[in-house]
Amino acid sequence: MSSGLTIAFVCQGKDHSTITNHKKFGNKYWDDAQNNKSKIGYYFAFYFQKKYVYIHKIINILQPSERPIEMDWTSNKQILCLSKQLHAFTWSEWINGIGLGAPFTPNYRQTSTSSWSCFELQNHKKYHTFNFNNFKNTIIDTETATAPATMNAKIILYESKKEAIEFDIDDEEEIKIIAEICRKKREKELRKRNAILDRELNDIDRQIIRLQAEKIRLETEKDANENGGTNEVLIKLSS
């Protein structure tokens, strides 16, 4: 599945069409830009009036001829079908935290919907500081934690390379089984991470012990030098 990010904007004006449209169908659909390259699997972010960032996922793409009835106007742009909202950040949380360095931050003016592949984000001279992999892993954590145990739920299963595989499940008992697998895999990852942290802490403790020993050696040498220097002066004075 493709990995990338599409960003759309809900403007600050109270009567702007983006506000009306977001209220009407923004939880399910949005127009792509004319020459955009959004793909199924991309994450989709609404920059909402520089107040919030709402994260969805592109789960399907429709052609202009397939325009849903809710989008009651004519357009030759492809329509992005969105998942339920996966996460919401305040603008401050986004620009100072997980979205640090992301496109159109920390400030932007009204602009058209734009998209980038994972490769483009990581290699762009302006956006390469945006930790897209950290963003993906955070959103995956949210998806897993909030996955409902209902019919046709999408359960996220962690693999060793932290790539998410989505399963469409029709049986509630299967959902519980897969959810338990997800939980155990996540716990295993956390144990591995804690083991790494323990090793790093042990290394630091050993370094502290070495430094303390070195400090004692230097202090001892300094004291010896000071005592020896005093005796040498007394010898010279008495001669």
- Domain containing residue 73: CATH number: 3.10.590
Residue 96: pLDDT over 90: yes
One-letter identity of residue 109: R
Residue 48: pLDDT over 90: yes
Compute the Cα dihedral for 177, 183, 185, 191 and give only its sign: negative
pLDDT of residue 116: 94
222 part of a folded domain: no
pLDDT of residue 162: 43
Residue range(s) defining the domain that contains residue 103: 4-146
74 part of a folded domain: yes
116 part of a folded domain: yes
Report the alpha-carbon distance of residue 94 to residue 73 in Å, rounded: 32
Contact 82, 29 (CB under 8 A): yes
Contact 153, 177 (CB under 8 A): no
Mean per-residue pLDDT, 155-179 = 51
Domains in the chain, number = 1
pTM equals: 0.59
Report the alpha-carbon distance of residue 129 to residue 7 in Å, rounded: 17
